């Protein structure tokens, strides 16, 4: 297959200059001696005795179609549930969760205050933050598919247990452990994407599975609205907010077992691929220069991740961008009520925001893969979100439809977050470095989401102006961080291109699976 085309806005693999056949042979012997450091993909080529593998366009399309049919539907549904399970708290907050205990099952909750609700929103991310790096190490050490499935099943069980909560302390414990088990999802899905797809295929597919946040917002709003209306009209023996937790939790458990059955650890144990297709599926991603995984921890890769300015730029973006996300995710139902709508209407009227997110993410992902410059294209979603939040702040309370339209526009905000997530998937080679950078990125994500709910104070209802101004400022800062990442990538590429063009440069055989090569690979950014 052809190598990736050089573009002006990407990070390329660090060249490995060798000046003689003798030096080349020495490196090959060293790699053989320390074969435990080689990527797991090398095992697929054992016994081929150096035979070349040629993949035709027709074969490539066939493989891609088969991979998409088996991976994408399950990943999309599970990622949608990942978002729905976090936002179930927002639906429950206006379905009776915050009310004091009562004999009326339609009006009985656990009696929590506004500040306690904010801490419930943040507590999920304390669990996420506490377990983020350990779970990334386990994603490297344990079978990727099986460990991910275990976490999906467990977070479904924990979420369903929320229906048994009868006080604030129990709710805090549930939210913490929900964060612990969900912390494996996003980094795990980034690894699956880099493991199965070429660099030019990864951006749009990351956007597709991430866009199911939007589908979950639509689905969750409709389900919560249906439950609320049915319980009001017919009554129920169990509180409406408990039904929401039971439905979403048990649905997640079922999808966890589907995930366990369908999603393999890597190409080499995919039951839906023939033995020949497993080798071809690995060969087709050779162009990525990343392999399919290595279980051995490498300190030099950890050091490189911690000293790389791009790693910290990614971390800073996730930290600042997710302060708005943490607030909006947990308070969007109450925000819409503040526009002048009833609680039931807020459940229904929040759903179009999911459609905006879907369109923005898929459009940006497709355009990023098609034209390159993923970061620059993702700017558009963030600018649209800033416009939406300005409408919410500037329009009077009487203009509820205009402020609601502003909320819909604000749902385009995740486009840069997903673009950077896809760049971790495509740019970072070396399994230890990839999991480290992903952990740093998601630690920033957790920290921002912990801060976010605290900006929404009960005394600011219904306008929440301090929180809304904070969101605008955070998104403005993010624009500068994205600009830095863009120009830093361009500078790095020019530097590495000079090395590639230096006299005596030789590309080693199987350098794509060589753990000693550079850890930022060639993809458009």
Q: Which of 253-267, 316-330, 491-505 has the highest mean pLDDT?
A: 253-267
Distance from C-alpha of 348 to C-alpha of 337, rounded to nearest angstrom: 11
- The arithmetic mean of pLDDT across residues 444-461, rounded, is 88
Using one digit for the tens of pLDDT, what is the confidence trace for 207-231?
A: 999 999 999 989 988 988 888 888 8
Is it the case that residue 483 has pLDDT exceeding 90? yes
Write down the pTM of the prediction: 0.80
Q: Please, what's the largest Cα pairwise distance for the chain?
A: 84
pLDDT of residue 392: 93
Compute the C-alpha angle 219/221/224, nearest 5°.
Answer: 105
Letter string b/e over residues 53-75, b meaning 16 or more CB atoms within 10 A of that residue's CB: eeeeeeeeeebbeebeebbbebb
pLDDT of residue 113: 86
- How much of the chain, in percent, has pLDDT values that exceed 70? 84
pLDDT of residue 521: 47
When the candidates are 3.40.47.10, 1.20.1250.20, 3.40.50.2300, 3.30.930.10, the CATH number that belongs to 57-497+517-524 is 1.20.1250.20
Distance from C-alpha of 106 to C-alpha of 97, rounded to nearest angstrom: 10
- The arithmetic mean of pLDDT across residues 439-461, rounded, is 89
Position 171 confidence tier, pLDDT thresholds 50, 70, 90: very high
Lowest mean pLDDT among 35-49, 65-79, 275-289: 35-49
Using one digit for the tens of pLDDT, what is the confidence trace for 79-117?
A: 999 988 777 888 888 888 888 887 777 777 898 988 898
Q: Could you tell me the residue ranges of all domains in the chain?
A: 57-497+517-524
Is it the case that residue 501 has pLDDT exceeding 50? yes
pLDDT of residue 422: 87
pLDDT of residue 518: 44
CB 489 within 8 A of CB 523: no
- The arithmetic mean of pLDDT across residues 479-504, rounded, is 84
pLDDT of residue 13: 43
Is it the case that residue 517 has pLDDT exceeding 50? no
Distance from C-alpha of 422 to C-alpha of 413, rounded to nearest angstrom: 16
Residue 210: strand, helix, or coil: helix
- The arithmetic mean of pLDDT across residues 21-42, rounded, is 50
Lowest mean pLDDT among 176-190, 288-302, 357-371: 288-302
CB 139 within 8 A of CB 435: yes
């Amino acid at each position: 297959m052809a190598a990736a085309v050089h573009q002006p806005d990407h990070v390329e693999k660090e060249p490995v200059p060798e000046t003689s056949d003798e030096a080349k042979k020495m490196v090959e012997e060293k790699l053989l001696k320390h074969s435990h450091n080689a990527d797991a993909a090398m095992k697929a080529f054992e016994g081929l005795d150096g035979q070349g593998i040629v993949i035709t366009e027709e074969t490539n399309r066939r493989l891609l179609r088969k991979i998409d049919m088996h991976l994408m539907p399950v990943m999309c549904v599970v990622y949608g549930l990942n978002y729905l399970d976090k936002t179930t708290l927002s639906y429950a907050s206006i379905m009776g969760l915050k009310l004091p205990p009562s004999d009326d099952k339609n009006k009985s909750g656990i009696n929590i205050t506004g500040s306690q609700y904010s801490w419930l929103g943040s507590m999920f991310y304390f669990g996420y933050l506490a377990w983020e790096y350990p779970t990334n190490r386990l994603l490297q050490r344990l079978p990727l598919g099986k460990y991910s499935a275990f976490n999906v099943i467990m977070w479904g069980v924990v979420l369903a247990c929320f229906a048994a909560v009868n006080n604030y302390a129990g709710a805090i414990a549930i939210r913490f452990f929900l964060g612990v088990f969900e912390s494996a999802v996003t980094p795990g899905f980034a690894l699956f994407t880099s493991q199965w797809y070429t660099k030019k295929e990864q951006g749009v597919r990351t956007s597709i599975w991430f866009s199911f946040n939007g589908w979950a917002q639509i689905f969750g709003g409709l389900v919560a609205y249906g439950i609320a209306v049915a319980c009001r009209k017919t009554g129920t023996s169990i509180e409406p907010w408990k039904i929401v937790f039971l439905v979403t939790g048990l649905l997640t458990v079922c999808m966890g077992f589907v995930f366990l059955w369908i999603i393999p650890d890597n190409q080499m144990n995919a039951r839906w691929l023939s033995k020949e297709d497993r080798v071809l599926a690995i060969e087709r991603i050779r162009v990525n220069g990343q392999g399919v995984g290595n279980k051995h921890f490498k300190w030099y890769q950890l050091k490189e991740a911690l000293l790389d300015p791009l790693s910290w730029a990614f971390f800073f973006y996730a930290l600042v961008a997710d302060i708005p996300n943490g607030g909006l995710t947990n308070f969007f139902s109450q925000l819409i009520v503040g526009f002048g709508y009833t609680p039931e209407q807020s459940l229904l009227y929040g759903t179009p925001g999911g459609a905006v997110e879907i369109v923005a993410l898929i459009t940006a992902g497709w355009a990023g893969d098609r034209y390159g410059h993923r970061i620059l294209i993702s700017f558009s979603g963030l600018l649209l979100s800033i416009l939406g939040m300005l409408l919410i702040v500037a329009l009077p309370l009487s203009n509820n439809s205009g402020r609601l339209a502003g909320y819909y526009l604000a749902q385009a905000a995740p486009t840069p977050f997903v673009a950077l997530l896809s760049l971790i998937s495509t740019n970072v080679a070396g399994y230890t470095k990839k999991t480290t950078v992903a952990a740093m990125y998601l630690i920033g994500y957790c920290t921002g989401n912990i801060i976010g709910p605290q900006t929404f104070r009960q005394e600011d209802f219904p306008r929440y102006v301090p929180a809304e101004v904070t969101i605008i400022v955070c998104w403005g800062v993010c624009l500068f961080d994205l600009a830095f990442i863009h120009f830093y990538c361009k500078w790095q590429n020019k530097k590495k291109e000079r090395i590639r063009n230096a006299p005596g440069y030789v590309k080693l055989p199987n350098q794509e699976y060589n753990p000693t090569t550079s850890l930022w690979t060639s993809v458009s950014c």
